[in-house]
Amino acid sequence: MERRTFLTAGAAGAAASALAAPAIAQDIRQWKMVTAWPKNLPGPGVAAQMLADRITTLSGGRIAVTLYAAGEIVPGPGVFDAVSEGTAELYHAVPAYWGSKSKGILLFGSQPFGLRADEQVGWLYHGGGQALYDEMYGRFGIKPFLCGNSGPQWGGWFRTEINSAEDLKGLKFRTTGLASEMASKLGMASEAMSGPAMFQALQTGALDAGEFIGPWTDSALGYFQVAKNYYWPGVGEPSSAEECGVNMAAYEALPDDLKQAVAFACESLYNPVWTEYTTKHALSLKKLVADEGVQVRRFPDDVIAAMGTAAAEVIDELRQNDDELVRRITESFVSYRDLVGGYMTYADNGQMNARAAVMGY
């Protein structure tokens, strides 16, 4: 709430007494949410606004969250530091953007040949991941929560067709997180940039290819206009978790019921966000193929095999990281991936393969 300035001390004192009492009684906190996205960008921009609104609603208006898109207070890549330093109370972004802080952070967002959206939550809730997540982000004065997931991302938009792993060498490719390390091991020049910047770079030829999210968000950004070859599977990011980072001091200052409101707002959005992506990706892909002439192509087997080899090297390097916490995070991730992956052979994988065989897709 803004404070008025009056010309006389007496007026100021009287006005302050009259105006401050309701604000104190209502205990309203004005929180700023900074995001890594353009406002209302289909997918993450929409999800960020949903989170801001849900925190405000579940807190009964006692936390009033105002969303600021990338560039309005700080650039998208600066939201982590803004919350760490207290410039804003919370951010909406993805862990894949914070590898410069610690390589261990990258495992909480997406991992090449790693966890699906449901498995990612399973690791945090039931495999010890949340305690490690808290420990890592606690180094930076941030309390982290997962609050959504894009589901499986795509392999990317390529200006030219890919016929072998050799064709990847030398390509300038936009990606993020551990997928960028995998790409580098394949001989690609990995570039990190925003979604809108990726369109411009593809258009000018500064990029040869790039991946952002999937059909729903990617179609809104217009990549199909400059690169018609759309590749799957996106093994670099089998899922991409969206996160809310809250300034630790601001979070700890909340009463317990408001801490629960923030936590539940994040947790309760995970499935709605994930399933919205899934549904709208499917609808958007049909339109891209039917209306825009997009060529949906599968990476050749030797490309997928080369990606698997590179991804294994990335994980091995994390297991040998100098930081003991990074090593613990990696071992926890690998253990959960292998446990659940083995079970999925009989459960989800078995069911999906059987359905595809019978239904013809």
- In angstroms, rounded to a whole number, what is the distance separating the alpha carbons of residues 210 and 202? 8
CA dihedral sign of residues 216, 112, 267, 260: negative
CA distances to 13, 17, 86 from 7, rounded to whole Å, are 11, 16, 32
The answer to the question of whether 237 is labelled as a binding residue is: yes
CB 235 within 8 A of CB 135: no
**Cβ–Cβ < 8 Å for 123, 129:** yes
Inter-residue contact 292 to 223 (CB < 8 Å):
no
Contact (Cβ atoms closer than 8 angstroms) between residue 70 and residue 76: yes
Distance CA 216, CA 46 (A): 12
Q: What angle do CA 213, 196, 179 make, to 5 degrees?
A: 40
Whether the Cβ atoms of residue 142 and residue 248 lie closer than 8 Å to each other: yes
- Residue 174 in marked binding region: yes
With vertex at residue 13, the alpha carbon angle to CA 9 and CA 16, rounded to the nearest 5 degrees, is 135
Q: Cα–Cα distance between 80 and 36 in angstroms, integer?
A: 9
The string over 152-180, giving b where at least 16 C-beta atoms fall within 10 Å of a residue's C-beta and e elsewhere, is bbbbbbbeeebeebeebeebbbbbbbbbb
Within 10 Å of residue 49's Cβ, how many Cβ atoms? 20
For residue 316, count other CB atoms closer than 10 A to its CB. Answer: 10
Question: Is 153 flagged in the annotation as binding?
Answer: yes
- 63-68: strand order across its sheet: 63-68, 29-35, 90-93, 241-247, 142-149
10, two tokens:
């007496």
85 is annotated as contributing to ligand binding: no
Binding-site residues for substrate, please? 153, 174, 211, 237
Binding-site residues, please? 153, 174, 211-212, 237
Binding-site residues for Na(+), please? 212
